[in-house]
Amino acid sequence: MTANPEPVKPNPTDTQGQSEGSKARQLLGMKGAADGETSIWKIRLQLMKPITWIPLIWGVLCGAASSGHFEWTLEHVMASLACMLMAGPLLTGYTQTINDYYDRELDAINEPYRPIPSGAISLGQVQVQIWVLLLGGIAVSYGLDQWANHAFPILTALALGGSFVSYIYSAPPLKLKQNGWLGNYALGASYIALPWWAGHALFGELNATVIFLTLLYSMAGLGIAVVNDFKSVEGDKALGLKSLPVMFGIGTAAWICVLMIDIFQAGMAGYLIAIHKNIYAVLLILMIIPQITFQDMYFLRDPLANDVKYQASAQPFLVLGMLILGLALGHTEYLVG
């Protein structure tokens, strides 16, 4: 006779690992976090969603590369780090905080563990955080203009303009995010074009070619922005927000998302071929191939379950492609200069 197996006891190590993972996701502002955080500074950081700073910081790097005038000196490195601080923790932190402030009803449906709907922080404390981050970002941008001896304070203008776009993206009456196309393009441009312009203007002269190309590249950013809409479908429907998954359905919206990313990144490769930067073009195309593979493996098969996994696996190839374009433009700028 076979003995009855003993019941499997839960492994405290597994539970602890899951708890630590939830806390890490919570601190980064990612989907799937757990509630229960009591430290006000960790709650403030959660509002700022540090995971979203990375594209902006990278955009500054790409802009510095495309300027053709960045040098590996302590002064230039410190200036670029200050620009990354402005674009990432300060102004992206402002953007995410103000978005949570105006999305508190939506988050109560989709992500009730977020700091505001969970009651972990008061609205007054959130308002103070918004102003501190905004004014801090503008102050840093003004300081960078002074360092670069700009006759026109272009970095301050970019900081003010980007902050205004962030406001109308989240706040009524315009609330651009209510429109899936317009809102996601505004988000994509804020994540690609704006920090790129800042990094380029800090070390060189911002020109029409860079402005046009980065605005076009921001259509790929629109595709990335759509990924974030899949986790909010039920809340968007309840509140009448016309995100692409709501308007077109999950499957069609997933295809729109990946096609926007791939087509416009391939378009950048085509431009590099046209200006005889063939090696850079080949490198950019090589970034698209694994990106398409992960789109098929994860996102197109189940965008609701695999959105985070897809972003972690495929998005690095998009951002590496951005740097390749920046380096190609910088090499052109250097030769012209």
Q: Is the dihedral of CA 267, 271, 273, 274 positive or negative?
A: positive
**Distance separating alpha carbons of residues 43 and 29, to the nearest angstrom:** 10
Q: What is the pLDDT of residues 64-111, one digit of tens each?
A: 999 999 999 999 999 999 999 999 999 999 999 999 999 998 888 888
286 within 8 A of 25, measured Cβ to Cβ: no
312 vs 76 pLDDT, higher one: 76
* pLDDT (0 to 100) of residue 21: 56
Of 19-28, 52-61, 158-167, 244-253, give the lowest mean pLDDT range: 19-28
* pLDDT (0 to 100) of residue 248: 94
Q: What is the mean pLDDT of residues 102-123?
A: 90
C-alpha distances (whole Å) from 143 to each of 66, 67, 87, 134, 300 are 22, 20, 14, 14, 45
Q: Cα-flanking dihedrals φ and ψ of residue 242, to 5°?
A: -95, 65
* pLDDT (0 to 100) of residue 177: 87
* pLDDT (0 to 100) of residue 32: 52
Q: What is the mean pLDDT of residues 250-273?
A: 95
With bands split at pLDDT 50, 70 and 90, how would you rate the model's confidence at 232?
Answer: confident
Does position 316 have pLDDT exceeding 80, yes or no? yes
* pLDDT (0 to 100) of residue 5: 43
Residue 83 DSSP SS3 = helix
Concatenated DSSP letters for 287-323? HHHHHHHHIIIIITT-HHHHHHHHHHHHHHHHHHHHH
Residue 80 DSSP SS3 = helix
> What amino acid occupies position 216?
L
- What structural domains does the chain harbor? 38-336 (1.10.600)
pTM over 0.85: yes
* pLDDT (0 to 100) of residue 233: 84
Percentage of the chain with pLDDT > 70?
A: 88
Does position 29 have pLDDT exceeding 80, yes or no? no
